[in-house]
Amino acid sequence: MKLDRFYPIFDSPEWLERTLPLGVKLVQLRIKDRPEDEVRPMVAQAQALCRHHGAVLVVNDHWRLAIEHGCDWVHLGQEDLDEADLPAIRRAGINVGISTHDHAELDRALSLGPDYVALGPVYPTILKQMKWQQQGLARVTEWKRLIGDLPLVAIGGMSVARAAGAFQAGADIVSAVTDITLNTDPEARVRDWIEVTR
């Protein structure tokens, strides 16, 4: 299955309600610091919305809920991998995207047979504190050479204006958060993203 090249990340199903009708076809639900019982109904709602709009839902971190709700994708970072039951995730038929930030993390990710690899932060991000400086576009090119046919997701400080450069450098998919959520007109920004990525 070929994933869409535009991959927004949102922290509530309400964002999916706003953006899926615009044509978003790949989206991550990333809810941090909330107990599983609070996230459960949000995963269910996001899954129903994505099914209705023919979009692929990626559940961040909450792999147990993804199994529970019959979701198709999870995204796991390196710390998530320490506690995730990958065999159970695979038995449930769930595809797995993995974050990477350096060579050791990439080696570990590749050893687990991911369905996509994310590299970040390509540019500085204001969403969260990270110990990594911006990776830059040369690193995107290097990662693509190392992972071959696996889809490469570029994340971190991505914007509509920066998307073309990331694709030229080798990214298959570009992911963004604040470029959309902090925009004065998020819907218009999503339309711009769709225009530059299709």
Ligand X SMILES: Cc1ncc(COP(=O)(O)OP(=O)(O)O)c(N)n1
Binding of residue 120 to ligand 3NM (CB under 6 A): yes
Binding of residue 77 to Mg ion (CB under 5 A): yes
Taking residues 46 to 85 in sequence order and writing x for each that binds ligand 3NM by CB under 6 A, - otherwise, the string is ----------------------------------------
User: Which residue lies nearer to ligand 3NM by CB, 91 or 102?
Assistant: 102
Binding of residue 99 to ligand X (CB under 6 A): yes
The one of ligand 3NM, ligand X, Mg ion, none whose footprint includes residue 121, by CB under 5 to 8 A per kind, is ligand 3NM
Convert the chain into a string of H (helix), E (strand) and C (coil). CCCCCEEEEECCHHHHHHHHHHCCCEEEECCCCCCHHHHHHHHHHHHHHHHHHCCEEEEECCHHHHHHCCCCEEEECHHHHHHCCHHHHHHCCCEEEEEECCHHHHHHHHHCCCCEEEECCCCCCCCCCCCCCCCCHHHHHHHHHHHCCCCEEECCCCCHHHHHHHHHHCCCEEEECHHHHCCCCHHHHHHHHHHHHC
Binding of residue 25 to ligand X (CB under 6 A): no
| Least distance to ligand X, CB of residue 85, Å | 16
Residues 122-181 that bind ligand X (CB under 6 A): 153, 155, 175
User: Which residue lies nearer to Mg ion by CB, 63 or 123?
Assistant: 63
Q: Of 117, 118, 160, 180, which lies in the binding site for ligand X, with binding defined by CB under 6 A?
A: 118
